[in-house]
Structure 1
Amino acid sequence: MTIERTADLLISQAVRLNVSDIHIIPRRQDYLIKLRVHGQLTHYGNLPPIAGERLISHLKFMASMDIGEKRKPQSGSWQTHIHKTFVALRISTLPSTLSKESLVIRIFPQNHSFFLEKMSLFPKSILRLISMMSHTHGMLIFTGPTGSGKTSTIYSLAEYCSSNLNRNIITLEDPVERQSDQFLQMQVNEKAGITYQTGLKAVLRHDPDMIFVGEIRDAETAAIAVRAAMTGHLVLTSMHTRNAEGAVYRLLEFGIKPLEIEQTLIGVTAQRLVSLLCPFCGDICSKFCEGGQEMKRAAVFEILEGERLDRIIRLARESAGPKDFDHVYSLKRLIRKGIALGYISNEEYHRWIFQEKEETAPESSRVFSDKTE
């Protein structure tokens, strides 16, 4: 079998199984291939050293990357049709101590849309998010770890605003994860001088009603996003914090004044994806189960708005540190509710608790983690 055929089979199988990431990992005797299916890494197979190196070189060539450079990290992308599905592939390489490269492929199905009503485990959460879209100006922040579905939620809300509210929407992303004909999308390109800061300044001159900023990463981007929200634009963006309250303290860390936060921030959403019980497999559902339910995972939203949001801003103004409030809409209580209703297993709850404990150590980095998507 040719290396081109091997690559096509690997990617087509991954798309068929709804894989989000393909990992090609070098080892002393071979290359290990793993797939991330529904958030869990699964062993897929092994390749001999020569075949593994040729596969990585072929994938780098398809992504317009430097095949001869193996000492530096590289990134690239390309788009293709697989199983009548238009997908975008983002490639990332890292050098290892074995003088070999590790390669990861992130898969973005372009014509796979999410229905708002089916995204959330609890429908009332989506109704609350939709109600926030009626605002003509302000800022809505989505928080959560990598792979929690923040971007999919924002895309779905933006498409709702475009089709139902007739909004002019412009996005600024790095990278553009899914192509949409319902709004104008702009790609961050630092080599061409298009950063989040310069791109956002240009977007503001293009008469948008709503702006989607891929991520607030620094003080200047935060300042421009707040200014956009104060001048008559609805801004949707994401931020890496452990919980919803942490977004307020992160804005303060970026130099945003409490009064500006009060005037612009509509709400903050902390999002997690939880695995649902399979009606065919029970507690432990096979990752390759195609006879089970179509949606094997659903989102749980902790939404911070109204009086609760005002209370957090007031605490922040008084220089009080971030606190974990075990309120009725906290992620922990919502997941417990999912267990009580029979949607989530106890094992899923304990796995989520373990991940939360890992994210909270050490104390100084509880809220201000700076991971990138």
Structure 2
Amino acid sequence: MEETIEQMSDLILNEAWRRRASDIHFIIGANEGMVKYRIDGELLLYKKLDKVLCRRLISHFKFLAAMDIGEQRRPQGGTLTVQLQEDILQLRLSTLPNASEESLVLRIHPQNKRTPLTKLSLFPRSIHTLSSFLHHSHGLLILTGATGCGKTTTVYSLLEEVAKRRACNIITLEDPIEQRNETFIQVQVNEKAGINFQTGLRAILRHDPDIVMIGEIRDEYTAKIAIQASLTGHLVLTTLHTHHTKGAIYRLMELGISLHDIEQTLVGIVSQRLVKVICPYCGEECSLYCQARDSRRLGVYEILYGYNLKQVIREARGEEVTYSYMTLPRLLRKAYGLGYVTDGEIMV
């Protein structure tokens, strides 16, 4: 009996979740369609399909996410919540047209599986340092790193940790909200409703927050209001796209933030990367079906704070300074020397 589109879409989602994929790609080539899974950072082929069937699957997911099925000439975005047995997943959909076809990517965000702060890092000492930032009543904590390196997971784990420690009002401003959490107030950017990062942040600051999480510093206004919030008695957590911790300081300067304000507000900058850890059960390459481990990848954190942060800010002023802290390359070499990762991880 031939599978229906609904059955096939359920099969693809279930298999992606079973393999712990972070994304599902639907791609239509010249002769056939393909479904690919991104697993541990690698894009792997799951199956090949007839082009017509692949188009129908794309249309099916667009329909479920209330996207315009007839529009294939411009990019679209949407969200969809599905339940797979006991697990609730939020899917973020993104379409992109090419010369003759349309591709679709589903980003998978589990909603009821939380990763505690203690299980994020390859090196436990990094968690102690990250946790210490939560003692600050005000200031700015920035997380940097490439797309897909786990910044959002780290931010949510930090927020959940501080919510356990003390009674406080935590408000987030996100686009989109990637993990629903009833512990704090989450505000979704909605341009049609007049809620963008500017209006959203202004409203949040009038709502008596103790801690504010801004999904990402994207422009000069967002940067300035994040600085303003941290100067007026709020602990602000946010992300920024830079290659390393020092780069965050220069990026803030490019966005019009003075070095004086940076020095007054910054409590720490964290740059992170996910690395594949050698599996004690499977050998170097952990099987996609290995059930003996919680995660095949762990975070490596470059953390700039305290004396070293002050010295780097002085360096940005043009002063000659000395400092020393564990950068990502040094941490990766340490991980390799201890036998935690293969040499391929330190070559990237």
Could you tell me whether the CA contact under 8 Å between 1:148 and 1:271 is conserved in 2?
yes
- 1:108 equivalent in alignment to 2:133: no
- 1:331 equivalent in alignment to 2:328: yes
- 1:188 equivalent in alignment to 2:193: no
Identify the range of structure 1 (326-335 vs 166-175) with the bigger mean alpha-carbon deviation. 326-335
Kindly tell me: are residues 102 and 326 of structure 1, through their superposed partners in 2, closer, same or farther at Cα, counting changes over 3 Å?
Answer: farther
- 1:75 equivalent in alignment to 2:72: no
Aligned to 1:347: 344
Counterpart AA for 1:329: M
Could you tell me whether the CA contact under 8 Å between 1:280 and 1:291 is conserved in 2?
no
**Distance apart, 1:118 and its partner CA:** 1.3
Could you tell me whether the CA contact under 8 Å between 2:19 and 2:289 is conserved in 1?
no
Could you tell me whether the CA contact under 8 Å between 2:142 and 2:270 is conserved in 1?
yes
**Distance apart, 1:293 and its partner CA:** 2.2
Identify the range of structure 1 (189-198 vs 69-78) with the bigger mean alpha-carbon deviation. 189-198
Matches within 5 A, 1:227-306: 227-286=228-287, 288-306=288-306
SS in 2 for 1:69: coil
Kindly tell me: are residues 282 and 303 of structure 1, through their superposed partners in 2, closer, same or farther at Cα, counting changes over 3 Å?
Answer: same
**Distance apart, 1:328 and its partner CA:** 4.3
Stretches of structure 1 lacking an aligned partner (at least 5 in a row):
353-373
- The one-character-per-residue Cα deviations of 1:274-304 (angstroms, maximum 9, x if unpaired) are 0000112222233x23244222110000000
Could you tell me whether the CA contact under 8 Å between 2:138 and 2:234 is conserved in 1?
yes
What is the identity percentage for the equivalent residue pairs of Structure 1 and Structure 2?
A: 49
**Distance apart, 1:326 and its partner CA:** 9.6
Counterpart AA for 2:126: S
Aligned to 1:223: 224
SS in 1 for 2:200: helix
- 1:204 equivalent in alignment to 2:205: yes
- The one-character-per-residue Cα deviations of 1:75-130 (angstroms, maximum 9, x if unpaired) are 11111111210110011001111x21000000000011011111101111111111
Give me the whole-angstrom Cα distance separating, in 2, the residues matched to 1:103 and 1:283. 32
Give me the whole-angstrom Cα distance separating, in 2, the residues matched to 1:196 and 1:242. 24
Give me the whole-angstrom Cα distance separating, in 1, the residues matched to 2:126 and 2:346. 20
- The one-character-per-residue Cα deviations of 1:35-55 (angstroms, maximum 9, x if unpaired) are 001111111001101111111
Identify the range of structure 1 (164-173 vs 235-244) with the bigger mean alpha-carbon deviation. 164-173
- 1:152 equivalent in alignment to 2:153: yes
Give me the whole-angstrom Cα distance separating, in 1, the residues matched to 2:58 and 2:217. 32
SS in 1 for 2:47: strand
- 1:63 equivalent in alignment to 2:56: no
Could you tell me whether the CA contact under 8 Å between 1:279 and 1:293 is conserved in 2?
no
How many matched pairs? Answer: 346
TM-score, normalisation: structure 1: 0.90
Aligned to 1:34: 36
Give me the whole-angstrom Cα distance separating, in 2, the residues matched to 1:83 and 1:335. 38
Aligned to 1:364: none
TM-score, normalisation: structure 2: 0.97
SS in 1 for 2:135: coil
